[in-house]
Structure 1
Amino acid sequence: MILSEKELKALCQMASTAALDAGKYIQSQFDRSYAKKHKKGGNSLASQVVTEIDEKAQEIILRHLHSSLEAHNLGLLTEEAIDDQSRLEKAYFWCIDPMDGTLPFTEKRTGYAVSIALIANSGDPVIGVVYVPDLAECYTSVKGDGVWLNDKSFVREKGGKNDIIHVYSDRSLRDDVYYKSATDRLNEWAAHQNTGIQYHTGFGSVRNALGVMTSGTGCYFKFPKRPKGGGSIWDYAATRLFFEELGLHVSDARGETLQLNNPETTFMNEVGVIYTTDSGLSDLIITLGN
């Protein structure tokens, strides 16, 4: 079964409504008290913290998307539920992160977002929706139709020759063995380009990718590692489509297609990720990873 363009656009609208409702609920709880607990995740605190807000946001999203599961025979993968492997059996599956960036949310700062994608069994996203609650920004995309921001075509401001380079990373990057060598090489590259460099940390994976996408020149990357983690399928599903639609670089750490339906695991630690706005910067990071 191949979904038609009309069906994809209708499903994108459904996902947008779900993301907006979940995001408005999340923002309404920002300054309130709520239960916080730990779950089994990767090896970082960011992947282990979960709140009742995440779980309620997921309920809101699933309530909106429930009818589409049967109507289009779709699979389902969500962060706050067990992987039932339907993603491997169906032609398409919803991939949902009800609140990416739970840690910054609990720390009362920006960096969180709602992310919903529809992924083909091949591991390629065909719909992407991201809502940023504290900024009231909703990014949407259907494969082949570009990227939209709050229902208006999103046009990216391209970086100039001497624009500052924005490097987005998780807090955990500072603990990785390659951190110093990687940042040394990035600083050298920036100096060679006769420009400055600015490092951003503390956002969730979705907001990191959006930060790169909305900067003139920027990057976000994670190299492969042995411990489980490195983000999961739902962290990169929607933003991979955004980058592809904008003609920007998104790949695994080897520079190959970022596969989003690995039958063995939902974690991405074995392959890593790279998001960049500049081909030279992409080449540099791939070299660093190798």
Structure 2
Amino acid sequence: MSASMTPDAVRALLPALRETIREAAALALPFFRAGAQTRARVWSKSGGSPVTEADVAVDTFLKVRLSSLLPQAAWLSEETIDDALRLGNDFVWIVDPIDGTRAFLSGHPDWSIAVALLVGGEPMLGFVHAPVTDRFYEAVAGGGATCNGHAITASMQDRIEGARVTGPKTMIERLARGATAAGVKPAMIPIDRVPSLALRIARVADGTIDIGLVSSNARDWDLAAADLILREAGGAVIELDGEATTYNRPDPVHGELVALCGGVREAVVDAFAKHG
């Protein structure tokens, strides 16, 4: 299948996609209890990570609706058994029905629904919706990024010193040690960790975080939608050596990553090189 989708065809999908994601949120919200345990049934998947009936309901709904919007697209999501047919398909939906399930089940507001469309292996459309706070991040490749319809850009921070950073404590400590070894004052401003990886990256895109660190074992569905949003906002999601993330590989698991505004990219890569 040839990877081609005209700009008009992309724009034609947007209204239905927005409505679909909001309908998916409406399925999940009745199970959410702010500051309290979810009303949903909870069980453990292989490996011990939790899943709720809300995850499954949203996943099922999105698979039906998104497949009807673009029948030729393959599917990759957290709650669906992987199908290797996606590897030979130029169009792939990548979905996390609830990114930040532990936050969802414990009553923390920072969970999201993340939807991306890959075309030729690259994100073409990206949506991250935080239902509790009603923040809807969106991007189309080449068209910029928005939150609730308003254009967003990553911050203009150009040094590690004074950067607002969030993520795993051990990675923050390594970044600080590497910055010190590079002769940089590593005084960073810590931001509370954002449980949803998609939201963590989206908040780099909207300029409220400068550096978002991501531990190893993130999956395509945690990253692809927010990655595009951040790219379109002027930042990037990169591996510690500065290489860009890639998607729709046989194994959709990633190593350690950094989401950052463009101005700190060189300094962050240099710091991790000195103490990676």
Same-fold status (TM-score > 0.5) = yes
* Residue 235 of structure 2 is aligned to residue 248 of structure 1: yes
Deviation sequence 1:168-210 (CA, Å, 0-9, x none):
21xxx34x6x6643444468889727x6421422512112112
Residue equivalent to 2:50: 49
Distance 2:248 2:22 in 1: 26
Alignment of 1:115-134 (within 5 A): 115-121=114-120, 123-134=121-132
Superposed CA offset, 1:27-49 (max 9, x none): 232125211011125xxx6xx11
8 Å CA contact retained: 1:254, 1:289: no
Whether the 8 Å CA contact 2:123–2:228 is kept in 1: the answer is yes
Name the counterpart of 1:274.
Answer: 258
CA distance in 2, matches of 1:257, 1:159: 20
- TM-score (normalised: structure 1): 0.81
Over 3 Å counting, the alpha-carbon distance change for 1:179 and 1:95 in structure 2 is same
CA distance in 2, matches of 1:80, 1:114: 13
RMSD between aligned alpha carbons? 2.8
* CA apart distance, 1:245: 1.1
Gap change, CA 1:219 and 1:161, over 3 Å in 2:
closer
Deviations 1:192-248 (A, max 9, x none): 27x642142251211211232233552122465xxxxx2100111011111211221
Partner of 1:221: 213
Choose from 24, 35, 43 the match for 1:37: 43
Give 2:111's aligned residue: 112
Q: How many angstroms does 1:91 deviate by?
A: 1.3
Structure 1 pair 242–143 and aligned structure 2 pair: CA distance change class (3 A): same
Rounded to whole Å, the distance in 1 between the matches of 2:203 and 2:149 is 19
Q: Distance in 2 between matches of 1:36 and 1:164?
A: 41
- Letter aligned with residue 265 of structure 2: S
Letter in 1 for 2:212: Y
Tell me the distance in 2 between the aligned counterparts of 1:114 and 1:189: 38
Q: CA deviation at 1:60?
A: 2.2
Pairs aligned (count): 268
> Who is 1:6 aligned against?
8
Structure 1 gap ranges (5+): 225-229
- Contact 2:74 2:89 (8 Å CA) reproduced: yes
Q: Measured at CA, do residues 7 and 217 of structure 1 come closer, stay the same or move farther in structure 2, by a change above 3 Å?
A: same
Aligned to 1:238: 225
Overall identity of the aligned pairs, in %:
21
Residue by residue, what CA displacement relative to the aligned partner does 1:39-81 show, whole Å, maximum 9, x if unpaired?
125xxx6xx11100101111222232121342xx111111101
Of 280-289 and 247-256, the range deviating more from structure 2: 280-289
Q: Which stretches in structure 2 are left out of the alignment for 5+ residues?
A: none
* 8 Å contact from structure 1 (residues 116, 130) kept in 2: yes
Structure 1 position 256, deviation (Å): 1.0
SS class of match (1:97): strand
Moved more, 183-192 or 96-105: 183-192
Residue 205, structure 1, aligned to residue 207, structure 2: no
